[in-house]
Amino acid sequence: MEFPADLKYTENDEWIRLEGNVGTIGITDYAQEQLSDVVYVEVSVSVGDTVAQGDTFAAVESVKAAADVYLPASGKVLEVNEGLADAPELVNSDPYGEAWMVKIELSDPSELDALMDAAAYEKYCQERSH
């Protein structure tokens, strides 16, 4: 299982990669492993939307479960990964790359201070696996 060090993580298994003031967001390797084979991804926000930390912005369905995906930070939606609708399996094969879900311009980057770093998130996942 991967825990890239350049990301911040939420307790709901989302990740965010900050580049300047832009955050790229998706679900973690742990989350896709728990879900198993992802068969459907629906992003429910649009480019230009103003969104708040904790808002639901997507739904992911697998052969065994469905899960809401929450925003790890507030901001304005810059880009939506339209390709996931046609290739939801990318969430399983490349959760930190091709399977990004949205990119937002952060309105308050300090919100990320409350998220976990890779070491803390890895420990959190291990605690839930026992």
1-55 residue pLDDT tens: 999 999 999 999 999 999 999 999 999 999 999 999 999 999 999 999 999 999 9
Would the pTM count as exceeding 0.85?
yes
43-53 residue pLDDT tens: 999 999 999 99
The percent helix, strand, coil of the chain (3-state, each to 5) is: 25, 35, 40
**Mean of all residue pLDDT scores within the chain:** 97
Domains and CATH numbers, the chain: 7-108 (2.40.50.100)
